[in-house]
């Protein structure tokens, strides 16, 4: 199949064999990631997401629908029955490490040394240590010590 073609699963995969490309096809736009971030921080209602992100209503509606369709968020009626609320699915919660990694990259590269920014802290109020991938023996790895095995 060629790049950008629709597959049997209904998705238009940018690169059908690359997990990074598939992930970006699912959640890789700015608004989707900010919605996921805010869901992790307790946002549940449409207005919660709109106020926290400043996103236009029509764009937010599309992104929320997309995230529900792709299994990242679940939508159900609030106990009052008057509005819809959103919650992360297991797949959405599994994006936590990705959001933390993006946050930590931003802390290192998107702010001036003396510029203030929000912090993600554990239950004790201590900032999380820097995430670093390791190999099967616990030894840190990086771009120079890993390779991608292509699918056949």
Which of 102, 83, 84, 81 lies closest to 36 in space, CA to CA? 102
Q: Where are the domains of the chain?
A: 19-109
Give exposure, 10-21, as e/b (b: 16+ Cβ within 10 Å): eeebeebeeeee
Q: pLDDT in tens for each of the 152 residues of the chain?
A: 344 555 545 678 888 889 999 999 999 899 999 999 999 999 999 999 999 999 999 999 999 999 999 999 999 999 998 899 999 999 999 999 999 999 999 999 999 999 999 999 999 999 999 999 999 999 999 999 999 998 87
Indicate the angle between helix axes 46-53 and 30-40, nearest 10 degrees.
120
Q: Has domain 19-109 been given CATH number 1.10.3720.10? A: no
């Amino acid at each position: 199949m060629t790049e950008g073609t629709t597959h049997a699963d209904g998705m238009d995969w940018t690169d059908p064999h690359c997990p990074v490309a598939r992930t970006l096809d699912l959640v890789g736009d700015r608004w989707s990631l900010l919605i996921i971030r805010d869901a992790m921080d307790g946002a549940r209602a449409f207005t919660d997401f709109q106020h926290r992100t400043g996103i236009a209503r029509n764009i937010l509606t599309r992104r929320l629908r997309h995230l529900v369709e792709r299994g990242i968020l679940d939508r159900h009626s609030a106990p009052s029955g008057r509005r819809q609320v959103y919650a992360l699915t297991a797949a959405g919660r599994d994006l936590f490490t990705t959001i933390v990694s993006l946050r930590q990259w931003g802390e290192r590269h998107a702010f001036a040394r003396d510029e203030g920014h929000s912090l993600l802290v554990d239950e004790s109020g201590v900032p999380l240590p820097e995430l670093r991938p390791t190999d099967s023996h616990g030894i840190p790895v990086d771009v120079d010590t890993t390779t991608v095995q292509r699918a056949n």
